Amino acid sequence: MEILKRGFQLLVSIHSKLIHKYYQHIYRKRKLKTFLMGVGSLYLLRRLSQLAMALTPSIRRRNLIGRYGEESWAVITGGSDGIGKEFCIQLAKQKFNIALISRNAKKMDQICLELQNYGVQTKYIVADFNNGYTEDFYNQIYKQLEYLDISILVNNVGTGEAGQFEQQKMEDSFMMLRVNALSTLMMTRILINKLQNRNKKSAVITISSGLAYLPSPFVSVYSGTKAFTNYFTQSLALTSKNIDFLSVTPLGVSTAMINYKKGVNTIETKELVLNVINDLRQGKTHSFGCYKHKRIINHLLWRNQNYRNKIKIQMGIGLRNTHLSKIRQDEQQK
């Protein structure tokens, strides 16, 4: 902390000198030096604001369990693998009780045993969201949750298929709509009144995708479902008073969906989840999951349409090839 304070004081001193030089060069009409001084001043202002946040942890980081309530529950859909499992672990470390919803009872039972080592209560509900196209399906889930003090809902469950749209099976398209989009809408709907009426604050975290902003060929249905969940969550955030809504739009995350692919721009599930939780602490309504994904998406959105389209086609081809590679591996293992 002492080092941060000294760094802050040093930057303030440098910034003051830059401002002084800036006005000197304006007076002397030295355009290039004036411009460079202005850029340097703005850069230092940014660093100063970052250091100021580091020096005020009470503002930068909310105490999650204090904000959302001790002994409260976090509900995570698709919590038996990947991102969902990591949310279970990290929220259990924060002392939230955990309720998982997924298809695989054996996996969830094992995860619950692991989570109990953090001194929290656990519960799991067996449900296949691909069958979630009736009101009764979600009513059955709610009946198993209604007695819990739920403070956090993580809409994480998702699936993806890749290929030429006209060649995809219609059932695969229905599956992505039900699992990716309808599950987010309906889980939020059945729990929103419960979350809204708590004495403490509540939170809804939706795991969308960077493809919500960069819709790509060969994953057109997947891109569409993620665009829906992203804008659905952000729209609810605009007028919500008691619920903190956070939409998450990362690019590559090393999960089963991309065959655990590694790469320069691919991040691990733990990094993603820790960054998302930190963004929730800061009161954000949107998270890119990590800085590098934010930089890539913003850069592409800033570029012209032709360039952006070329990159989106490349992304779609890459995802299609990864999907086909995963299918071949699965067939070889059978």
State how far the alpha carbon of 309 is from the alpha carbons of 83, 303, 304, 314, in Å. Answer: 29, 10, 9, 9
Q: Residue 252 and residue 73: Cα distance in Å, rounded?
A: 29
Reduce the secondary structure of 141-158 to three states and give it as a string: HHHCCCCCCEEEEEECCC
Closest CA to 323 of 162, 178, 181, 175: 162
**Cα–Cα distance measured from residue 173 to residue 206, given in angstroms and rounded to the nearest whole number:** 20
In the Cβ-directed half-sphere of 233, how many Cα atoms lie within 13 Å?
Answer: 33
Residue (of 267, 268, 278) closest to 61 by Cα position: 278
The verdict on whether 43 is a catalytic residue reads: no
CA-to-CA separations, 294 to 12, 131, 196, 325, in angstroms, rounded: 28, 34, 30, 28
243-248 and 97-102 beta bridge pairing: unpaired
Among candidate residues 22, 27, 222, 307, the one labeled active-site is 222
* Alpha carbon 95 to its chain's center: 20
Take residue 69 and report the two structure tokens written for it.
Answer: 């309530």
> What are the residue numbers of the active site?
222
